[in-house]
Chains A and B, each alone.
Chain A
Amino acid sequence: MAKKIINQPDQCVSEAMEGFLAANREYVQVEGASAIRVREVREKPAMIVGGGSGHEPMFGYFVGENLADASVAGSVFTSPDPGSILQAAQAVERGKGLLFVYGNYSGDNMNFDMAAEMLGDMGVTVRTVRVWDDVASASKENYQDRRGIAGNVLVIKIAGAACASGLDLEEAYRVACKARDNVFSIGVGLSGATIPGEEQPIFTLSDDEMEYGLGIHGEPGVRRVKLQSADEIAEELVDKLLADSGIQTGDVVCTLVNSLGATTLLELYIINRRLAQLLQERGIHVHDMDVGTYVTSLEMAGASITLMKLDDELRGYYDMPCRSPYYKKN
């Protein structure tokens, strides 16, 4: 087994949740489910996020003020089951409907859809936003096949703000879709992670190699090359993002440089330095830059850059304060 600080592989998710709840008293576990929720539930459209574990702090730790109301955690790299999603939904729904926000993967889609069907049968309205920001994972024409990566952070940020602003479910859903449609990410992988209890990493790269577009479950990327400098990596990632998104001179963006787990803040800021230069050179106005470890793939080394194009409406929701143990604004 790969060296990890665990007890039993199949207890990782539940034990980590127990530890999280011990440290963060404003959250409680949804009874009988692998899910956490805010202690005080408000009267508003409720927002549920979730997905496989192993991407911490996404998704579980994005529950909080002006963020999600509950989060459902599957096993490592496996979507949660519909029963857990249903229980989490029922624990926070207050008659104003539900917004599901999660990454676009077939397992998550099927399980969340089943939960939405069950809720529909009970008379609860559910709207679903699948985040598909990874421009390396499918062509522009097939954007609905793209995977969700670090862009989840920004869509959850905006959607959470919209749900908390007094909008009804349909309006909050419209804003969340707009956020999803304006977020673009791409990453680079340097070394792979091992699922707790397994012998082998989910992918391997030679000591001197890296891969553009490598996914957060080890999905193969678009191009494997010899290790490049931080500046070269930032340049290629930004080029790809601008070409795909159509973001251009005069546009306003917020940015996110995200670590996939093992890559350090020291490295992230070197990437961010070049990102800031490149956007300035192109006359793209930067509203806000965020740098941190938000959507990981266990101990994978690598990083991603996310750009979100902002209009006045999205900027308003982006600037609203929010708070969770691992993500704060203001």
Chain B
Amino acid sequence: MNQLNYSQVREMLLYIAEQIIANKPLLTQVDSQIGDGDHGIGMERGMKKAAEKLRSMEEGSDVYTLFQEMGKSMLMSMGGASGVIFSTLFTGGAAGKPASAVLDSQGLCKLMEGGLLKIKERGRAQAGDKTMVDALEPAVACMKACAGSGDLCLMLDQAAQAAQEGMEATKNYQAKYGRAKSLMERALGHQDAGATSTWIIFRSMAEYVQRL
């Protein structure tokens, strides 16, 4: 699998939304340990709006507009830090891209890399701060290493694995942002909810391309 066309990208993004919504109980449970328990609620709200929008976009020719519209729907419906951060994951690297009818491994890699850069700029979080960056940064690094092969399945499979490891590693960090920050060392042993969502997003992309 080397590239996705418009309708495949749309289906992949719809699958991400579906998977996040299905995992709301997990996200709520993870966030309740050290956050205020509302991460799953916000993500579900944003993904429902995104899915609604994507379903109305059956006809189209630019894969980047799909990412843009998904992110915009999330931004305008979620609120909270996650609203800005997770919408930026989809829009950060898509803004200003020339229209393209297909998405290949280089394109997807650049897209996620652009998202990561924008997220770090907006949220000011660095690796090790117990945020979604801890899952996203290794996933993007992995994509950059694999993108040259052109194999989307391989790239996303590796990236999802890196995101999972990054998510697991958040258990070892104290939080620098959000409610968990005040917990200091009491946040140790618990994984970050945003990193968990990031892992679900990458795992969903990997699962989707594997099934094609």
- Mask, B105-125, CB within 8 Å of A = 1, is 000000000000000001100
B-side contacts of A75, CB under 8 Å? 38, 41-42, 45, 79-80
A-side contacts of B138, CB under 8 Å? none
The reply on B22 being an interface residue by CB < 8 A is no
- How many A-B pairs have beta carbons closer than 8 Å: the answer is 79
* Contact residues of A between 86 and 108, Cβ < 8 Å to B: 106-107
Q: Which of B37, B76, B81 contacts A106 (CB 8 A)?
A: B81
A-side contacts of B179, CB under 8 Å? 215, 217-219
| Given A106-B177, A106-B178, A110-B122: A202 in contact with B80 (beta carbons within 8 A) | no
Cα A220 to Cα B183 with chains together (Å): 6
How many of chain A's residues have a CB under 8 angstroms from any CB in B? 29
A-side contacts of B75, CB under 8 Å? 81-83, 114
Distance in angstroms from A14 CB to nearest chain B CB is 13
Contact A111 B182 (CB under 8 A): no
The chain A residue sitting closest to B32, CB to CB, is A200
Contact A78 B37 (CB under 8 A): no
Cα A82 to Cα B38 with chains together (Å): 18
The reply on A74 being an interface residue by CB < 8 A is yes
**Which label, helix, strand, loop or mixed, suits the secondary structure of the A interface?**
loop
Chain B interface extent, by class: 20 to 34
* Contact residues of A between 50 and 106, Cβ < 8 Å to B: 52, 74-84, 106
Q: Which of B32, B37, B79, B186 contacts A111 (CB 8 A)?
A: B79
Cα A217 to Cα B84 with chains together (Å): 20
| Given A83-B75, A195-B37: A220 in contact with B182 (beta carbons within 8 A) | yes
A-side contacts of B80, CB under 8 Å? 52, 74-75, 78-79, 107, 111
A-side contacts of B83, CB under 8 Å? 79, 81, 107, 111
The reply on A296 being an interface residue by CB < 8 A is no
A-side contacts of B81, CB under 8 Å? 79, 106-107, 110
The reply on B52 being an interface residue by CB < 8 A is no
Contact B123 A195 (CB under 8 A): no
Contact A106 B32 (CB under 8 A): no
* Contact residues of B between 1 and 60, Cβ < 8 Å to A: 32, 36-38, 41-42, 45
